[in-house]
Amino acid sequence: MERYAWKAAIRPGKRAEYIRRHDEIWPEMKEVLRSAGIVNYSIWLSGEEVFGYYECEKGAAYAARVQAESPVVDRWNEFMKDVLDMPADEETGAQPHLEEVFYLP
């Protein structure tokens, strides 16, 4: 199973709103993530920095493709752009992928 990690920054003064929106994440957004084979998804905060991690049961390329083709993800990204600064990966349109340098299974 492939692992995927990304990072972003919360816009100034928007931390509480970022958290609120994830507390109320849309059911259809969760369904898209599940259909993309994404499991064990967690998001962490450090001040205004955001770190996300998930595992891809069907591979990272498949997960990226499903998300890129989803109108629900498009709506979510539009909904979040006033609270989150996260440029998309130019090749996949997904979150910018972090390079893994260590893994302890």
At 54-69, the pLDDT tens digits run 999 999 999 999 998 9
Q: What is the DSSP string of the chain?
A: -EEEEEEEEEPTT-HHHHHHHHHT--HHHHHHHHHTTEEEEEEEEETTEEEEEEEETT-HHHHHHHHHT-HHHHHHHHHHTTTEE-PPPTTTSSPPBPPP-----
Instruction: Look at residue 44 in the predicted model and tell me its pLDDT.
Output: 98
Per-domain residue ranges for the chain?
2-85
Q: State yes or no: is 97 an active-site residue.
A: no
pLDDT band at 91 (very low <50, low <70, confident <90, very high): low
Q: What CATH architecture applies to the domain 2-85?
A: 2-Layer Sandwich (3.30)
pTM over 0.75: yes
pLDDT at 88 over 90: no
pLDDT band at 26 (very low <50, low <70, confident <90, very high): very high
Give the active site residue among 1, 3, 9, 22.
Answer: 22
